[in-house]
Amino acid sequence: MSRITRVQLFVTCLVDAFAPRTGLAVVDLLERLGLEVECPDGLTCCGQPQLNGGFAMEAAALARRTVDLLTVDDAPVIVPSGSCTDMIVHQYPRLLADDARYAERARQLASRCYELSQFLVDVLGLEVVDARGTGHVAYHASCHGLRGLGVRRQPEQLLDGVDGLTRVPLSEADVCCGFGGLFAVKMPGVSGAMLQRKLDAIEASGADTIVVTDLSCGLHIAGGLRRRGSRVRVVHLADVLGAEP
Amino acid sequence: MSQAPAFDRRAAAAAADAKLGEALRFTTGRLQAGRAAALAELPDADALRDHARRVRAHTLRHLGRYLDQFAVQVEALGGTVHWATTAADAVAVVVEIATRRAARLVVKSKSMLSEEIELNHALEQAGIRVVETDLGEFIVQLARDRPSHIITPIVHWTREDVAVLFRQRLGAAEQDVADIPAMTAFARRLLRREFLAADIGVSGVNFGVASTGSIVTVTNEGNGRLTTTTPPLHVALMGIERIVPTVDDLEVMLRLLARSATGQKLSVYTNIVTGPRRDGEVDGPRELHVVLVDNGRSTLLAGELAEILYCIRCGACLNICPVYQRVGGHTYDSVYPGPLGSVLTPGLHGLAAAPDLPQASTLCGACRDVCPVRIDIPRMLVALRTSSVQQGLGPGWVRLGVKAHAWLASRPRAYRAALRAVGVASAPLARQGWMARLPWPLSGWTAHRDFPAPARRPFSALWAERRRAR
């Protein structure tokens, strides 16, 4: 696998709109590892909100255009989100299974698409990434990355290797924060109650920073912490790893 | 302005109930820990679960054949089999049996199916007294409450609540309600009289064994055994999907059921009834009736929700579910709550009967992870949401918003322009990059957390700039 020299980056719609610097941190990190990074033009949203909302036709349309944009080049696709990666890896092949023009390409794309930490640890075989930080961090294991892709050990291992950081345990780290896409707006009562329990656990952990591998959960948790007046920050794993030593 | 769906309004009320929250946290936490430990003890729990899944899939694929075999065996043993297409048919069968026998008292062991078909009400209408004998169900009945969990029906009650109920409704003395053992002994004394006086015992069925015609019920209180053996007549209510082909298959299911439900290796009582009392036997019912209830199951079996019929009713998906844990079973307003109910109830009765349930999930996938037979509940929740959209259910703003977003996301230039427009429009509302109040429908979000303002320049712009610079 060490023959990988080029990668394609799909930063996701949320990073694009809300956290462009996280996107640049991913680019910096990958370039520091000696990889040539390309971000194909025209990428927007993977279609997960449509799929999970029950809009299968709209989701399939977005899946097809994303497949088109990411199969021009056959370099591995890196996504700094477990949830969007899971969409491409597990849902695209299912969604496009009966589409003669796309079924095979969707499967092929799925086979070379990775969540960021998964790519670094499982594909590149890295044990640590040269980076520096300070303070106490805790990792929140987002649902789709965790249960769809098995992402938890990888980000935790990478965090443990960052100079100057201490990782502390977070109770119920693998329990959903209550985001769930449209769920947070459609079912505000339930979603809010789930968030409060997550925030309680975060404040009890003693961490000053929560690290996520999904910006969606990160923004949800950060918005909740801010509303509480908490001083705990939320950052993406790429923000931590992108910081040069 | 309350635009929230009924589920969410009930949820908000439940989540604000601190006592309920504590009770749910305690019990679901205990059951989850028990399950995890009990499965870890097995030499290869994953392989056993895979095997169990294959057994369930095979059985349901050949359900007609196994049901016929089961029915033939039951009748060969001297029992009577009744086929009920609807809940009303099932209720009519039981009421008919009871009135023909001039029954005055029916004792019941726990049966979610009897809740599903609303049997108690019909029997009472016919002038028959019905007594629930599972301690939790006994309390539910006494308080005119509803179960809030399929295994632990009074997860929402505390021991203090029960003490008050027993004193008020049953005239219990102080020492009768001093602690849980005292309350249990008190209820047991009352129930013993009912068992001995009952004309009919009605039970559910955890599993029906096709090869032997046996009816299997598992309980922890022994009430199932008394219900099915003490009265002269036993009526077993069985969903048509409860079949296992052989005794070997039964063993697999029993090993997983108790471990997944409560963390026990086996339930305290595993009751296997094979036919009514035979000549020379000293106990058991003279008459045995098995009511095989469809009530929408065969329709489910033919569609994309068939997998929910693999369910062996352990309740593990309820205990692990972060939604269930926060809002409890009553919020679902469904006989079967939690992730299981969110698929089964709209599956059996139609989406119009439970439009909110498939929406009441973040699709976190924890239910799929703990299911002993690996039912992919999130997949079916999405399928139900898709049907819901196709049927035009759900709020119009969601449909409009999602479609508009999809339209824009397919047109990068329009998408970027819209992003810029949102950035400009939201800038005056934002402080330090966050907005504290947004108009409906985003008010649902800002009710509980701040909303992030979009960055002034998106990643795509920064990336284009960087590329030009090289």
Q: Is A34 on the interface with B (CB under 8 A)?
A: no
- Considering A81, A97, A122, which residue would you say is the last residue of a domain? A122
Q: What is the pLDDT of residue B441?
A: 87
**Same structural domain, A133 and A237:** yes
* Average of per-residue pLDDT values in chain A: 96
- Considering A97, A122, A147, which residue would you say is the last residue of a domain? A122
Running DSSP on this structure, what letter comes out for residue B278?
P
Q: How many domains does chain A have?
A: 2
Q: What would the mean pLDDT of B42-58 be, rounded to a whole number?
A: 97
**Same structural domain, A177 and A232:** yes
Q: Is B32 on the interface with A (CB under 8 A)?
A: no
Q: Are B364 and A176 in contact (CB under 8 A)?
A: yes
Q: What is the pLDDT of residue A117?
A: 98
Q: What is the pLDDT of residue B117?
A: 97
Structural domains of chain B, ranges and CATH numbers in brackets: 6-12+310-390 (no CATH), 42-295 (3.40.50.10420), 397-469 (no CATH)
Which tokens belong to B16? Answer: 């604000």
**Same structural domain, A92 and A152:** no
Which tokens belong to A17? Answer: 């709109």
Instruction: Give the phi and the psi of residue B27 in degrees, each rounded to 5.
Output: -75, -45
Which tokens belong to B393? Answer: 């259910």
Burial B382-395 (b: 16+ CB within 10 A, else e): bbbbbbbbeeebbe
Put residue B318 in one of left, alpha, beta given phi > 0 → left and psi -120 to 50 → alpha: alpha
Q: Are A186 and B365 in contact (CB under 8 A)?
A: no
Residue A12 lies in a domain: yes
Q: Are B329 and B27 in contact (CB under 8 A)?
A: no
Chain B contact set for A185 (CB, 8 A): 441-442, 444-445
**Same structural domain, A170 and A116:** no
- Model ipTM value: 0.97
Residue A10 lies in a domain: yes
Q: What is the pLDDT of residue B360?
A: 97
Q: Are B126 and B99 in contact (CB under 8 A)?
A: yes
Size of chain A in residues: 245
Cβ neighbours of A44 (radius 10 Å): 26
Mutation site, A12, A69, A177, A190, interface B, largest B CB count within 10 A: A190
**Same structural domain, A154 and A117:** no
Q: What SS3 class is residue A210?
A: strand
Q: Are B325 and B24 in contact (CB under 8 A)?
A: yes
Tell me the Cα Rg of chain A: 18
Q: What is the pLDDT of residue B1?
A: 39
Q: Are B422 and B454 in contact (CB under 8 A)?
A: yes
**Same structural domain, A164 and A200:** yes
Candidate from B363, B369, B462 with C-beta closest to A52: B363
pLDDT band at B283 (very low <50, low <70, confident <90, very high): confident
Q: What is the pLDDT of residue B271?
A: 95
Q: What's the rounded Cα separation, in Å, for the pair B84 and B74?
A: 16
Residue A220 lies in a domain: yes
Question: Does pLDDT of B2 surpass 90?
Answer: no
Q: What would the mean pLDDT of B172-193 be, rounded to a whole number?
A: 97
**Same structural domain, A45 and A103:** yes
**Same structural domain, A23 and A100:** yes
Put residue A164 in one of left, alpha, beta given phi > 0 → left and psi -120 to 50 → alpha: left
Return the percent helix, strand and coil in chain A, to nearest 5: 50, 15, 35
pLDDT in tens, A157-212: 999 999 999 999 999 999 999 999 999 999 999 999 999 999 999 999 999 999 99
Q: What SS3 class is residue B243?
A: strand
Q: What's the rounded Cα separation, in Å, for the pair B375 and B394?
A: 26
Distance from B164 to chain A by nearest Cα, in Å? 30
Q: What is the pLDDT of residue A96?
A: 98
pLDDT in tens, A123-168: 999 999 999 999 999 999 999 999 999 999 999 999 999 999 999 9
Q: Is A62 on the interface with B (CB under 8 A)?
A: yes
Residue A1 lies in a domain: no
Q: What would the mean pLDDT of B106-115 be, rounded to a whole number?
A: 97
pLDDT in tens, B7-39: 999 999 999 999 999 999 999 999 999 999 999
Q: What would the mean pLDDT of B419-424 be, rounded to a whole number?
A: 91
Q: What would the mean pLDDT of B258-279 be, rounded to a whole number?
A: 96
**CATH number for the domain including A163?**
3.40.50
- Considering A57, A91, A122, which residue would you say is the last residue of a domain? A122
pTM over 0.95: yes
Question: Does pLDDT of A109 surpass 80?
Answer: yes
pLDDT band at A3 (very low <50, low <70, confident <90, very high): confident
pLDDT band at A1 (very low <50, low <70, confident <90, very high): very low
Give the pairing of strands A77-79 and A6-9: parallel
% of chain B surpassing 70 pLDDT: 99
Matching residue, tokens 């936490």? B29
Give the H or E element holding residue B49: helix B45-61
Q: What's the rounded Cα separation, in Å, for the pair B47 and B41?
A: 13
**Same structural domain, A26 and A112:** yes
Running DSSP on this structure, what letter comes out for residue A205?
H
Which tokens belong to B339? Answer: 């992730």
Q: What is the pLDDT of residue A211?
A: 98
Q: Is A183 on the interface with B (CB under 8 A)?
A: yes
**Same structural domain, A137 and A226:** yes
Q: Where in the sequence is the domain holding A232, given as residue range(s)?
A: 126-241
% of chain A surpassing 90 pLDDT: 97
Give the H or E element holding residue A6: strand A6-9
Name the strands in the sheet holding B129-132, side by side, starting at the edge strand that comes first in the sequence: B80-84, B287-293, B233-239, B200-203, B105-108, B129-132
Chain B contact set for A180 (CB, 8 A): 361-364
Q: What SS3 class is residue B436?
A: coil
Mutation site, A27, A38, A90, A185, interface B, largest B CB count within 10 A: A185
Which tokens belong to B189? Answer: 């004394």
* Average of per-residue pLDDT values in chain B: 96
Q: What would the mean pLDDT of B377-406 be, rounded to a whole number?
A: 95
Q: What is the pLDDT of residue B394?
A: 87
Burial class (CB in 10 A: 0-12, 13-18, 19+), B16: exposed
Side chain identity at residue B98, one-letter code = A
Side chain identity at residue B19, one-letter code = K
DSSP codes, B54-81? HHHHHHHHTHHHHHHHHHHHHHHTT-EE
**Same structural domain, A108 and A28:** yes
DSSP codes, B106-167? EEE---HHHHHHTHHHHHHHTT-EEEE-SHHHHHHHHTT---SSSSSTTTT--HHHHHHHHH
Instruction: Give the phi and the psi of residue A13 in degrees, each rounded to 5.
Output: -65, -35
Candidate from B323, B382, B457 with C-beta closest to A52: B382
